Amino acid sequence: MRIELNCLQKIYPESKTGLGSITAVIPPSQWVSVLGPSGCGKSTLLKLIAGLEEKTGGSIEQGFTKKEISFVFQDAALLPWKTVIENITLPLRLRGVSRSEAEREAQPWLKKLKLEKFADHFPSQLSGGLKMRVSVARALITKPKLILMDEPFAALDEPIRIELGLELRELWKALKPTIVFVTHSITEALWLSDRVMVLQGQPGQVALDRELLFGIDRPLSLRASSDFQKTVEECFQLLRSHS
């Protein structure tokens, strides 16, 4: 299922900013990263795709149902009074799946995201990296066809960020959802995804839209290659010139 944005626009009347006119076609199973300075409309773009905001211009077409979409917020957004397993199974429970069935379905995700030991912990007992893992498990348990991620790793230390990024790439390879991934890290965007969009201005417009032909497997060493570094520099210049 593809997503088609045609001159898509959202201007908030209060601030006169938001998202400028965005045109793009995102084919099924593509992982698109979105870079851009704060306030250029990245979160607005995700909300428009999710149907959480009304556009003010242009059009958006996407055939995903609400149930096929998962949203991963920047701050993990876990329910503090629920345990790890209860947080992860929540989307299934809300769909009427029994507790035992939901917990059974959660097991492979606990394993994949290395959370088995923490199933009965509460969020307050977890590090930032673990909370984010729970949030990712909760997003994936419904086997979404579209995952919208808003700076999911922003609060994490670099080594954990790299590890989670690699894990997410593995999950993507196995399940092939469409992913729209907002990040402030140029390296993360280029290393993990198949396409990068750089937004500029307020309201934001597309300054660069590039497929990243770095192959399916993304070893850490890719980041040192000259092709990779050239694209990093290109993105950096675009982000710098309008910050």
Q: Which residues pair with 197 in a beta bridge?
A: 34, 209
Window of 38-46, 100-108, 118-126, 215-223 that interacts with ligand ADP by CB under 6 A: 38-46
129 part of the interface to ligand ADP, by CB under 6 A: no
The side-by-side arrangement of strands in the sheet containing 57-62 is 18-26, 3-11, 57-62
- The beta-strand segments (E) located in the chain are 3-11, 18-26, 31-35, 57-62, 69-72, 146-150, 178-182, 195-200, 205-211
Could you tell me the strand order of the sheet in which 178-182 lies? 69-72, 146-150, 178-182, 31-35, 195-200, 205-211
Is 124 an interacting residue with respect to ligand ADP (CB under 6 A)? no
Interface mask (CB under 6 A) for ligand ADP, residues 104-123, using x and -? --------------------
Q: 96 in helix, strand or coil?
A: coil
20 is in the binding site of which of Mg ion, ligand ADP, none (Cβ under 5 to 8 A by kind)? none
In sequence order, which residues have a C-beta less than 8 Å from that of residue 16 and are 6 or more positions away? none
107: left (phi over 0), alpha (psi -120 to 50) or beta: alpha
* Footprint of ligand ADP on 44-103 (CB under 6 A): 44
Q: How far is CA 130 from CA 44, 95, 137, 142, 171, in A?
A: 27, 25, 10, 20, 17
Q: Under the criterion CB under 6 A, does residue 42 sit at the interface with ligand ADP?
A: yes
Q: How far is the CB of 36 from ligand ADP (least distance, A)?
A: 6
Instruction: Between 48 and 69, name the residue whose CB sits nearer to ligand ADP.
Output: 48
Among 202, 205, 218, 238, which residue interacts with ligand ADP (rule: CB under 6 A)?
A: 202
Q: Which of positions 149-168 make contact with ligand ADP (CB under 6 A)?
A: none
**Measured from the CB of residue 66, what is the shortest distance to ligand ADP in angstroms?**
21
x/- binding map, residues 28-47, to Mg ion, per CB under 5 A? --------------xx----
For ligand ADP, the binding residues (CB under 6 A) are 12, 14-15, 17-18, 36, 38-44, 202
For Mg ion, the binding residues (CB under 5 A) are 42-43
